[in-house]
Chains A and B, each alone.
Chain A
């Protein structure tokens, strides 16, 4: 029996364009633009300067704080510039531009094979930190931090998020099919670090082949594969924990408050690569798709490849895109230019046509209640949008639980009046933060 949660929406998953397409390794790019900030947390400091020669896997920016993660060169070649470049999340950010020497050589001294079973939790955690691994589902929270919960928050369950509930995206799906063993190995490593025996893999039912593959691969490991109802936002941390463990992360809390840690599929592959093969995170799988892409694909791309290069590998645009998005269509970030680079959190590059977007003029709220039914957090999104129009962040916070909104976008998707509810929520949250900063 597939499990579900209250609320949510059922958009057409639009995964048919790429679900059956095996991951294609992108050719070596001539040039990469690698931002020194690829994660939530403190920025890194560049260790290289123009003219330096670097090898693939060499650290080019070092973490300066605990909640931070180092950045590595994704190709070998010559650093031509360290300067501000467009960034898909932060607008502009310091980046290291490397021109390829065509050799694609790994940095020396990488331990090419390791017996991870012999390593203890602290050593494993350190390897994960040094490999620059962050949450690859899109949130880019440094993984070693998630794996180091404070002692007063005991963890007893680990959940692998294979839901991939965002429409269009199939990167995690393909990784689960094509790198099944690595996914399970990564998961077992992380469970060892956390010291937990209860492991779950949540996968939506629209990926039956991935469910079958992982059930087979986890036989005898004590890991449970949990088929989930196909429904957005099934893969949101809080709903996933609710569905699999029947525990509700308290308002304002984190998964560790209910003894759980959740990680993304791609992150597990990165962990396995780092721990078993000694390879830092220099590439990732991303789905390049959408109505405006000529030939949608799942691509294994080097970090620092530009969106333009990735789109070109898919035959360019079939039509002028109305929206260019990093990530999925429900929570991804709209981009205004094509020269932004692929970062560690780039799960997809979507070029949506006007038809895909189905935008419309925003109309007054008719109080139909569809947003209330759709909200997985049990809020009243229509009121948040009305308060947003009026800028009443205090009322929104105190009476309508503004800060509990996870911005999953279910309400906006469901709204017949095409109200930009998440936009208003972001605005109110920003107002609230500004007011708090003043105090």
Chain B
């Protein structure tokens, strides 16, 4: 036996197995999601200017401070460092026009964190996506400001206050294509992000890249964006055309509005969607159908926000209905 063998033991932790853990954590996930949103967020600042940056900062700071104050007040551990409040603020900013007056993003963030998140019990317990609740409340409170988008691309100078979907709804498909010049130009503009819209609605490309990285890391399930965007494309092509069945423009509908942002960043919010892959497919298809329903028949040109919120409300039902297949249930 080695003479210098050391045998001191300190405090031994005794707990149930397992005794090793993976190196993932909630804050790592949240900050990674924030980071993947950064390119699209910075692009919107580049396109919409300084005002966009201010709006974004107001949203984030208000969200973080609200969470801090509520947790202090409730004598709970302060968890603002986990990145989830930051993410709610950033997502809310992505969901509103850059030009709104300063008190609107402030109000929206406070509602998102205080009402949608903390009255439910905080992280993990909220039923609805806080950022979307914030946006829905803002849209109901200041409908005009929330649907007036800033001028951006020179191509659409004449229609500074309408998004592509707005033009589609009010003036028709032909007019919309005319605004962009031709179809290919329209698709390109929608994909790259040179068009009007909320801050995060613009660059499909950057949002898809960010989302793809989250899929690669395993932080979101690819089925959610694929099924949601696919449902919207299929349905709008089938029933959304001006010339009857199967005359719609699926590419336009898939790339415009908040669909890409919603499908990659809101419909994948792990807290508020079903926990199994099958449940998430049902959720995504449902959100896609509701989006199309609102876009085609509803009063709004866009429906992603309400579609996701409505599906959030049935998440517990989907979870009860679609449990995983238990081992040993079949021979």
Tell me the A residues contacting B by CB distance below 8 Å: 6, 9, 11, 167, 238, 242, 247-253, 258, 294, 308, 311-313, 315-318, 320-325, 329-338, 350, 352, 356-360, 363-370, 372-373, 375-380, 382, 401, 404, 407, 409, 412-418, 420, 422-423, 426
Contacts and interface: CB of A to CB of B under 8 A. Distances in A.
A332 B122 CA distance: 34
Contact of A329 (B1, B19, B219): B19
13 contacts: A6-B327, A316-B4, A317-B8, A322-B12, A350-B19, A363-B79, A369-B276, A375-B324, A377-B326, A378-B326, A380-B319, A380-B324, A404-B327
A413 B2 contact: no
B6 A316 contact: yes
Across the A-B interface, the 5 shortest Cβ-Cβ residue pairs: A409-B18, A316-B5, A364-B124, A320-B10, A423-B16
A391 B28 CA distance: 30
A290 to B, nearest CB: 10
Contacts of A322: 10-13
Interface of B: 1-2, 4-26, 28-29, 79, 82, 121-125, 218-219, 221, 270-271, 273, 275-277, 280, 319, 323-331
B19 A323 contact: yes
Chain B interface, >50% SS class: loop
A338 B328 contact: no
Contact of B17 (A167, A311, A378, A422): A422
A132 B72 CA distance: 61
B6 A323 contact: no
Given A313-B1, A366-B270, A416-B24, A376 B19 contact: no
A171 B221 CA distance: 38
Contact of B275 (A369, A413, A417): A369
Question: Which one of B18, B25, B122, B329 has the highest number of Cβ atoms from chain A below 10 Å of its Cβ?
Answer: B18
Given A316-B7, A321-B9, A358 B20 contact: yes
Contacts, number: 199
A333 B18 CA distance: 9
Contacts of B275: 367, 369, 372, 380, 382
A415 B29 CA distance: 12
A330 B12 contact: no
Contacts of A318: 6
Contacts of A414: 22, 24
Contacts of B123: 363-364, 366
A248 B25 contact: no
Given A312-B7, A372-B276, A380 B17 contact: no
A379 B324 contact: yes
Nearest to A361: B77
Nearest to B30: A366
Given A294-B5, A366-B123, A357 B29 contact: no
B327 to A, nearest CB: 4
A11 B7 contact: no
A315 B8 CA distance: 12
A104 B158 CA distance: 99
B322 to A, nearest CB: 10
Nearest to B279: A369
A67 to B, nearest CB: 24
A407 B12 CA distance: 22
Contacts of B4: 316
Contact of A334 (B19, B22, B23): B19
Contacts of B13: 322-323, 334, 357, 359
A253 B124 contact: no
A337 B15 CA distance: 13
B12 A416 contact: no
B9 A320 contact: yes
Nearest to A10: B22
B1 A312 contact: yes
A252 B329 CA distance: 10
A416 B331 CA distance: 33
A375 B277 CA distance: 13
B14 A336 contact: yes
B326 A413 contact: no
Nearest to B20: A329
Given A364-B125, A378-B325, A324 B22 contact: no
A331 B26 contact: no
A318 to B, nearest CB: 8
Nearest to A232: B18
A250 B331 contact: yes
A14 to B, nearest CB: 8
A321 B328 CA distance: 39
Given A238-B328, A247-B331, A412 B18 contact: yes
B70 to A, nearest CB: 15
A335 B12 contact: yes
Nearest to B324: A378
A316 B327 contact: no
Question: Which one of B4, B7, B82, B326 has the highest number of Cβ atoms from chain A below 10 Å of its Cβ?
Answer: B326
Contacts of B15: 323, 334, 420, 423
Question: Which one of A320, A329, A366, A414 has the highest number of Cβ atoms from chain B below 10 Å of its Cβ?
Answer: A366
A418 B331 CA distance: 34
Contacts of B121: 364
B33 to A, nearest CB: 11
Contact of A315 (B5, B22, B319): B5
A251 B21 contact: no
Given A251-B326, A294-B6, A368-B270, 9 more contacts: A322-B10, A322-B13, A363-B79, A365-B124, A369-B270, A377-B326, A378-B327, A380-B275, A416-B24
A382 B125 CA distance: 13
A250 B330 CA distance: 7
B221 to A, nearest CB: 8
A415 B280 CA distance: 19
A404 to B, nearest CB: 6
